[in-house]
Chain A
Amino acid sequence: ELKVEQNPLFLSMQEGKNYTIYCNYSTTSDRLYWYRQDPGKSLESLFVLLSNGAVKQEGRLMASLDTKARLSTLHITAAVHDLSATYFCAVDGTKETSGSRLTFGEGTQLTVNP
Chain B
Amino acid sequence: DTEVTQTPKHLVMGMTNKKSLKCEQHMGHRAMYWYKQKAKKPPELMFVYSYEKLSINESVPSRFSPECPNSSLLNLHLHALQPEDSALYLCASSQGLPRWADTQYFGPGTRLTVL
Q: Which A residues are closer than 8 A to B by beta carbons? A: 31, 33, 35, 41-45, 48, 50, 88, 90, 92, 94, 97-107, 109
Q: Which B residues are closer than 8 A to A by beta carbons? A: 30-31, 33, 40-45, 48, 50-51, 55-56, 90, 92, 94, 96-97, 99-100, 102-109
Chain B residues near A90: list those with CB within 8 A. Answer: 42
The answer to whether A100 touches B42 (Cβ under 8 A) is no
Taking a contact as CB atoms closer than 8 A, the residue among B42, B45, B99, B102 that contacts A107 in the complex is: B42
Q: B102 → chain A, closest Cβ, in Å? A: 5
The answer to whether B51 touches A102 (Cβ under 8 A) is no
Q: A44 → chain B, closest Cβ, in Å? A: 8
The answer to whether B90 touches A100 (Cβ under 8 A) is no
The answer to whether A101 touches B90 (Cβ under 8 A) is no
Taking a contact as CB atoms closer than 8 A, the residue among A35, A42, A50 that contacts B108 in the complex is: A42
Chain B residues near A31: list those with CB within 8 A. Answer: 99-100, 102
Chain B residues near A107: list those with CB within 8 A. Answer: 40-42
The answer to whether A99 touches B94 (Cβ under 8 A) is yes
Show 23 A/B contacts (Cβ-Cβ < 8 Å), sorted by A: A31-B99, A33-B103, A33-B104, A42-B90, A42-B107, A43-B43, A43-B90, A43-B92, A44-B106, A45-B103, A45-B106, A48-B103, A98-B96, A98-B97, A98-B99, A98-B102, A99-B55, A99-B96, A100-B31, A101-B48, A102-B43, A104-B42, A106-B41
